[in-house]
Chains A and B, each alone.
Chain A
Amino acid sequence: MGALIKSSILRKVVMALSGLFLVLFLALHVTINFTSVFSPDLFNELSHFMGYNPVVQFLMQPILILGVILHFVLGIVLEIQNSRARSVNYVKFKGGANSPWVSRNMIISGLVVLAFLGLHFYDFWIHEITFKYVESNPEDPTRYYEETVQKFIPMWRTVIYVIAFFLLGMHLWHGFSSSLQSMGWNNKYTASVKAFTKLYALIVPAGFIIIALYHHFNHLSQ
């Protein structure tokens, strides 16, 4: 832990590894969520599996929570250290001339996503824990679709989803390819892989946005 605090490269590597893990998780998450658009039964089945499988619940879920905590705590630590590395700011700093805005403002997109995660935890994780362990309700493999749709009925929550995933897209636009560079991966394939990471940063958040909008408007039309 001491080495992690002291070494700038180790901090980068941990930031990258936790980020890459979250990238994988997002792909799985959006895939499962997308089934809710065309097959409520399949969505229920997959959600029930994720909610009651012991490997997912007691191994993967704690790793995921640890990954999220590590990523945002380290991100905030890095931001503080970086601001100390320039104690007097420039009167004129033309960052846009040499680097994209998203790459220079990961803390903004990251904090918005973190705030959204608070809402997301309240909406789904706390709800699940209460349903299963506080109220000790019996298993109901058919409840997930209806519960999810109910969440997207209020306009305010749908708007928050759209904004948060737009910011997540910006975060991934820089963060995904950046994590590969941090892991030392920069070679003749980098241009193609970078193109893939940009595509991922567009498609995955767009998927979440489409799902939220679909359930919001689909409900209104019923």
Chain B
Amino acid sequence: MNLVLKIWRQENAEAKGKMVEYPMSNVEGDMSFLEMLDVLNEDLINKGEEPVAFDHDCREGICGTCSLMINGEPHGPDRLITTCQLHMRKFNDGDTIVIEPFRATAFPIIKDLVVDRDAFERIQQAGGYISVNTSGNTVDANAIPIEKDKADEAMDAATCIGCGACVAACKNASAMLFTSAKVSQFALLPQGRVEATDRVMNMVRQMDLEGFGNCTNTGACEVECPKGISLENIARMNREYMSAIVKG
């Protein structure tokens, strides 16, 4: 199929960016979206032009590295997949595809479609862990009985790959879904309850410091999340936060 790509090009963080049009021909439906961009870059390199910078790593939907706002939606028009799992058969011959980076003040652009998502790392570092005695006396996790539904909910929350689609989809560029998933996966388990109060306070404080927007419960994040992280996690984080404030 023949396509027209409109891609955001930006030399570096300080440079002014702009949309640049690239006509593409002979695109196969079986190509993944990233493979299609690989072909474009091959062409650009052969012509002596600068290839388009974009993030990618595992290319099987588990690392959370690939991003891209495709035709106004993070990871494109499909649901529960990352950009690397999106195939060109989802598009039609003659389509124009607008490709932009995930946009948020807290995700500054490094180059073209690559953004700096270290803000997520800093939120995680603020409390997204449990303090474990690693001196050799660690209790086997399986020795602690956990209700099946709680274990399932914690696992569901833990499937967040930190790709940033929630921020990209949110009209407020809020990081509440990401942060709440990380808070929830620990809050639901006995090992995580020990530091639950400090964790939620510290992670939310870091999230606010990074300059993400306020959640207004539009639900866009839940719909666009490639891992189906539920809004229930945000409600849980709100409860955890209010409970932490009451406890002082």
Closest Cβ of chain B to A76, distance in Å, is: 12
Task: Convert B205-224 into 0s and 1s, putting 1 for each residue whose CB lies closer than 8 angstroms to a CB of A.
Answer: 10110011111111110011
Residue contact B235 to A184, C-beta cutoff 8 Å:
yes
Closest Cβ of chain A to B220, distance in Å, is: 4
Residues of chain A within 8 A (CB-CB) of B169 are 98
Residues of chain A within 8 A (CB-CB) of B241 are 7, 9
Residue contact A85 to B217, C-beta cutoff 8 Å:
no
Closest Cβ of chain B to A180, distance in Å, is: 9
* A192 interface residue per 8 A CB criterion: no
Closest Cβ of chain A to B247, distance in Å, is: 15
Residues of chain A within 8 A (CB-CB) of B242 are 9, 13, 184
* CB-contact partner of A88 in B103, B176, B204, B218, under 8 A: B103
| Number of residues of chain B lying within 8 A (CB) of chain A | 48
* A193 interface residue per 8 A CB criterion: no
Closest Cβ of chain B to A90, distance in Å, is: 6
Residues of chain B from 96 to 134 with CB closer than 8 A to chain A in the complex: 98, 100, 103-106
* CB-contact partner of B224 in A6, A92, A98, A178, under 8 A: A98
Alpha-carbon distance between A94 and B74 when the two chains are bound, in angstroms: 10
Alpha-carbon distance between A91 and B9 when the two chains are bound, in angstroms: 12
Alpha-carbon distance between A10 and B205 when the two chains are bound, in angstroms: 11
Residue contact A95 to B204, C-beta cutoff 8 Å:
no
Which of B31-39, B41-49, B56-64, B65-73 lies at the interface with chain A? Answer: B65-73
Residue contact A11 to B171, C-beta cutoff 8 Å:
no
Residues of chain A within 8 A (CB-CB) of B188 are none
Closest Cβ of chain B to A214, distance in Å, is: 35
* A35 interface residue per 8 A CB criterion: no
Residue contact B105 to A87, C-beta cutoff 8 Å:
yes
Residues of chain A within 8 A (CB-CB) of B218 are 95, 98-100, 103-104, 174
* CB-contact partner of B213 in A6, A7, A13, A85, under 8 A: A85
Alpha-carbon distance between A106 and B218 when the two chains are bound, in angstroms: 10
Alpha-carbon distance between A99 and B223 when the two chains are bound, in angstroms: 8
Alpha-carbon distance between A183 and B240 when the two chains are bound, in angstroms: 11
Closest Cβ of chain B to A143, distance in Å, is: 42
Q: A13-B238, A86-B105 are in contact. Are A97 and B214 (CB under 8 A)?
A: no
Residue contact B219 to A7, C-beta cutoff 8 Å:
no
Q: Which residue of A lies closest to B106 (CB)?
A: A85
Alpha-carbon distance between A99 and B72 when the two chains are bound, in angstroms: 13
Residues of chain B from 189 to 248 with CB closer than 8 A to chain A in the complex: 204-205, 207-208, 211-220, 223-224, 231-232, 234-239, 241-242, 245
Task: Convert A71-104 into 0s and 1s, putting 1 for each residue whose CB lies closer than 8 angstroms to a CB of B.
Answer: 0000000100110111111111111011110011
Residues of chain B within 8 A (CB-CB) of A178 are 216-217
Alpha-carbon distance between A90 and B69 when the two chains are bound, in angstroms: 9
Point out which of B171, B239, B245 has the most chain A C-beta atoms below 10 A from its C-beta.
B171
Given contacts A8-B174, A81-B214, 5 further A-B contacts (CB under 8 A): A7-B204, A85-B104, A97-B73, A104-B220, A184-B239
A residues in contact (CB < 8 Å) with B = 6-13, 78, 81-82, 84-95, 97-100, 103-104, 106, 174, 177-178, 181-187
B residues in contact (CB < 8 Å) with A = 6, 8, 17, 19, 69, 71-73, 77, 98, 100, 103-106, 169, 171-174, 176, 204-205, 207-208, 211-220, 223-224, 231-232, 234-239, 241-242, 245
Q: 3 nearest interchain CB pairs?
A: A94-B72, A85-B213, A186-B235
